[in-house]
Structure 1
Amino acid sequence: MDHLLVDKKKVVEKMLALDVKVATGCTEPVTIALAVLYACRELTGEQLQKLTIRPSINLFKNAMEVGIPGTDYNHGVPLAAALGAVLAREKGITPGLNILSKISQCHFTSAKSLVSAGTIAIEIDYATHGLSVEAMALDHEGNTIVAVIKDGHDTLIKLEKNGQSLLTAKAPSVEGPQSTTGAKEQTQLTALRKELAALQYADIVSILPHLSEESRRHLLEGVTINSTMVENAISNSRGILKIGQAYNKLFKVGDKKSEAPFINQAIATLSAAVDARMSGFDMPVMTSAGSGNQGLTITLPLKIFAEVYQLPENILCEALALGHLTTSIAKAHTGTLSAMCGCVVCAGLGLASALTYLMNYQRNAQQAAFKISVEEVVKELECAIDIMVASVTGIICDGAKVGCSVKAVCSVSSAYHAAMLASSNIKIPETNGVLGSSIESTLSNLGKIASPGMIATDEQILSIMINR
């Protein structure tokens, strides 16, 4: 590999490590529960008198209707907060994106009691957009504890008791003291996303064949985790809509799954996974850029495509990396949470890029001494990304819920067709709409549509959701 790419490769691999993580349950209720857990751990005994949650517009929107693991399809911001308070009483709970992985019936019952008692107040922070939540706990001795998570789903940036900071620079532990490690990691992640977004796609594509074994193992682990989740979801009929099962029946996938067209398998599998996860299925998934649905959208269709067309594992790894990286770049422009659907738009762009990469290999691999042509791949990626931006820009995020499984179908269908058209060198003129003169400028324009362009849209979406 060219020595000039060595530092850029470090950025790519750090990005894959920090932005592709395991989580159980939708990450927005997890964030609320996590903020409350941090705050309530500092209470005197178990004497919680009042708990006030101040989520941003985007966080509240995504936590309203989505199922919470271990609660039998129940949902809601108060319940997520109550579970955080209940878990704060437990010993041995390590703060992180998996704190809702082992919710018992006892936890659920206690949480419902807290909600019924009127202990929890929700105050939407209409002035704040993006990912942010403040949890303020008051105990019977008059102590006030404030915890704030911001920008990253598990990034604690503030923890104070009676105005005094409780954060330390120590490594995080099961029982505290609390750590600034999360904030530092998120600062690094935010900076890395911006640094990644500044790279040329030619450099990113050039780096892919040189990914370390550690990065490749991590990427394949994500495929295994997400495949295990959806297999269990389907076999146990999880998911309120049962949309995956409906598609399997409509497409006649059934026992002859291996003979079904790729797109039919991908639609049925991905929609089943998202339906189950949004219903509160309590199995972990590998996320992408902070979202489990985005992680499912990247990994599951690519695994199926590689199986259907018998592509080598190393090429699948490279496509997975490209998919996750493109999603992270899109998020660098749009923000972690926005009025634009991350699954269709951001992960859709990632999937389209990755499928384009796989199709290029599939088309050319039979040639003697074949080697990926960076120039050819980048040309096709530009076509695919332009087609996606021209077709899905502006699709709204109206909160996390089981209906996201239908949007996932839109994502995989749009990405597949964009990749096929790109493979045929179909190029939309750069003078069309919000397209730019390069991949990088097009994605930058996409970000401007999300913010500031759709901030008022976000507010209107939430108004409709809470006033119907």
Structure 2
Amino acid sequence: MKGIKLNVLDFLSKNVKPATGCTEPIAVGFATSVAYNALFNESVVSSGDVISFPKNAPTFNTNQLVEIKVKTDKDVFKNAYAVKIPGTGGQKGIGIATAMGLHSDYQKKLNLFNDITPELIEKAQQTLNSNKIKVSFMESKEKMPHLDIQVSIKYLIENSSRTSLVQIEDEHDNITRIEVDGKILFEGSRKLPQKEQGEFPKSIVELVHIAESMTPQEREEVYKGILMNKNIANEGLQGNFGLNIGKNLEKMAKMDGSYDSMVMQVRIMVAAAADARMGGAKIPVMSTSGSGNQGITALVPIAVISEIKNIDYDKTCKAALLSHLITKFTHLYSTHLSALCGCAVKAGIGATAGITYLLDGSLEEINNAINLVVANITGIICDGAKEGCALKLGTASAVATESALMALEGIKIPPDNGIIYENAGDTIKALGKISNSMVKTDNEIINLMQLKYKGT
């Protein structure tokens, strides 16, 4: 069929990535690690999206640190404000993530906290306790907010100070600037949504066709995410993380007789995965469109339903890829983080498309399932990453499953209902306009969070 050809492996490498912990504080830690290594180098080696330095930096010494300034856009600040950082024993926020970045390997990008030891956590805590890390958020100078992280380090080397600056924009590992003492060592390109829109398929029918045309190598890559996110869901049920929403849903379902319901099974496993991730589990998840929680919502329902229905590997992989693709399609028409909860709404749309396809739904039924999700949970707001996200992800995954099942029974939202259009692609674009119009709401959410934490 005609349309934009998509390199699926390239799409997966750029949009579907493993990450340990919440991606916003991890990105700050990554930027900090790069900034520290930059202090000891005069050049940068770059190849595609990968950067490296000719010289290795020495072990960080808090006594030589003058100060670190971390500035982020408001939504990164919001998302990283109260989320637990893996391996820290429950510590939260940007400060400890920044300090950990000083002791981590920048070459691991969003997995740089994977191998951090208790000894290094203790050193990071000492750096945090020195009160030399200052965190603030920036007012956006652009009409539409975008992901923006800037980390500046002033450090004493042989009794004279050097200052480095690293900037990350648009995606959590997309470095756009590295400076040392005002000298630019590296400049990268922005990854603008408008440009991505132009390079991405324009319709749901195209995305379904891409999913149906998967190669064995593409299926292998997609299946890694299914296994990874199923693993953290099992960990959430077995361990003690966050609010233990998944475990409590399981207990309640067994008591009231709803445990064998497919909708409840999905809800339990998704909530458990979110419990573990938001509760600081040192286990990677496969993210999608820049979010690990979106990855959980997009993939875990497909993994659960595939197992319940004994659906074959090929079909499961195609459904999972479709979920990724539809989530990305929705993401491209909304801001990177906004007042709308992308982990519930964006990924919920992707999940319901994947579930409907998994259960042999037609293109029309996939269309109707998406519209049902939008009609149901569009109003869920994002008030930052934290333990309570397990509630939203559990709810969204249940709605995604219900919507798929209802669509398969012929239920359809009429296009005269609210923001719903006949074509689900148009509904998604309308949803994006709502998301992009909620900048004032987003600012008020952040203001309320700040006032609460300040005790006023």
TM-score relative to the length of structure 2? 0.88
Aligned pairs (5 A) from 1:165-180: 165-167=184-186
**Offset, 1:340:** 1.0
Superposition map of 1:217-228 within 5 A: 217-228=220-231
Q: Does 2:363 align with 1:378?
A: yes
Asked if residue 138 in structure 1 is aligned to residue 154 in structure 2, the reply is yes
Structure 1 residue 413 corresponds to structure 2 residue 398: yes
Is 1:37–1:85's contact at 8 Å kept on the other side of the alignment? yes
Partner of 1:278: 278
CA distance in 1, matches of 2:126, 2:27: 21
Aligned: 1:350 with 2:350: yes
Is the Cα–Cα contact under 8 Å of residues 240 and 275 in structure 1 kept in the other structure? yes
Give the counterpart of 2:248 among 246, 249, 267: 246
RMSD of aligned C-alpha atoms?
Answer: 2.2
Aligned position for 2:25: 29
Change in Cα spacing, 1:272 to 1:217, as seen in structure 2 (3 Å) is: same
Q: Does the Cα contact within 8 Å between 2:263 and 2:402 map onto a contact in 1? A: no
Question: Aligned pair 1:264/2:264, yes or no?
Answer: yes
Instruction: Tell me, yes or no, if the aligned pair for 1:226 and 1:296 is still in contact at 8 Å.
Output: yes
Per-residue deviation at 1:111?
Answer: 1.5
Q: Do the aligned partners of residues 413 and 192 (structure 1) sit closer, same or farther apart at CA in structure 2, a change above 3 Å counting? A: same
SS of the residue aligned with 1:17? helix
Tell whether 2:100 aligns with 1:97: no
8 Å contact kept, 1:243–1:405: yes
Task: Check whether the contact 2:19–2:110 (CA below 8 A) recurs between aligned residues.
Answer: yes
Give the number of equivalent residue pairs. Answer: 425
> Conserved in 1, the CA contact under 8 Å of 2:340 and 2:381?
yes
Distance 1:336 1:163 in 2: 29
Distance in 2 between the 1:18 and 1:396 partners? Answer: 26
Q: Which structure 1 residue ranges, 4+ long, deviate > 6 Å from structure 2?
A: none
Q: Label 1:440 to 1:26 Cα distance change in 2 as closer, same or farther (>3 A).
A: same
Instruction: Report the CA distance between 1:27 and its aligned residue.
Output: 0.4
Q: Evaluate the alpha carbon distance shift between residue 123 and residue 78 of structure 1 in structure 2; reply closer, same or farther with a 3 A threshold.
A: same
Q: Name 1:306's counterpart in structure 2.
A: 306
Q: Which amino acid aligns with 1:38?
A: V
* Corresponding position: 1:78 with 2:95: yes
Question: Among 364, 368, 383, which residue is 1:398 paired with?
Answer: 383
SS of the aligned residue for 2:379 comes to coil
Q: Tell me the SS of whatever aligns to 1:96.
A: helix
> Which residue is equivalent to 1:57?
74
Structure with the larger strand share: 2
Do 1:40 and 1:137's aligned partners in 2 also have CA atoms closer than 8 Å?
A: yes
Matches within 5 A, 1:380-459: 380-451=365-436, 453-459=437-443
SS in 2 for 1:142: strand
Local SS of the residue matching 1:154: coil
Q: Which runs of 5+ in 1 are unaligned?
A: 168-179, 362-376
Q: Which amino acid aligns with 1:86?
A: H
Maintained 8 Å contact 1:40/1:48: no
Please give the alpha-carbon distance, in whole angstroms, between the structure 2 residues aligned to 1:189 and 1:18.
14
How far 1:207 moved relative to its partner? 2.8
Contact 1:13–1:211 (8 Å) recurs in 2: no
| Counterpart for residue 195 of structure 1 | 199
Query: Which residue type is aligned with residue 402 of structure 2?
Result: H
Does 2:146 match 1:150? no
Instruction: Classify the secondary structure of the residue corresponding to 2:166.
Output: strand
Q: 1:119-165: CA deviations, max 9, x gaps?
A: 01112113263311100111232322110011101111111012211
Q: Is the 8 A contact 1:11 1:195 kept in 2?
A: no
Instruction: Determine the structure 1 residue equivalent to 2:45.
Output: none
Greater helix content:
1
**What amino acid is aligned across from residue 420 of structure 1 in structure 2?**
L
Identity of matched residues, %: 31
Secondary structure, counterpart of 1:425 in structure 2 = coil
Q: Report the CA distance between 1:249 and its aligned residue.
A: 1.1
Q: Which 5+ residue runs of structure 2 have no aligned equivalent? A: 41-57
Give CA-to-partner distance per residue, 1:61-81, whole Å, 9 cap, x none. Answer: 010111101101111111111
Which one-letter code corresponds to 1:161 in the other structure?
Answer: V
2:109 and 2:422 map into 1 onto residues whose CA distance is: 41
The answer to whether the aligner puts 1:212 opposite 2:215 as a matched pair is yes
Task: From the superposition, tell whether residues 190 and 233 of structure 1 become closer, same or farther in structure 2 (CA, over 3 Å).
Answer: farther
Instruction: Provide the secondary structure at the position in 1 that maps to 2:24.
Output: helix
Preserved contact between residue 322 and residue 350 of structure 2 (Cα < 8 Å): yes
Contact 1:52 1:121 in 2 (8 A): yes
Q: What's the CA shift string for 1:282-323, capped at 9, x where partnerless?
A: 011111111111111122111111111111211111110111
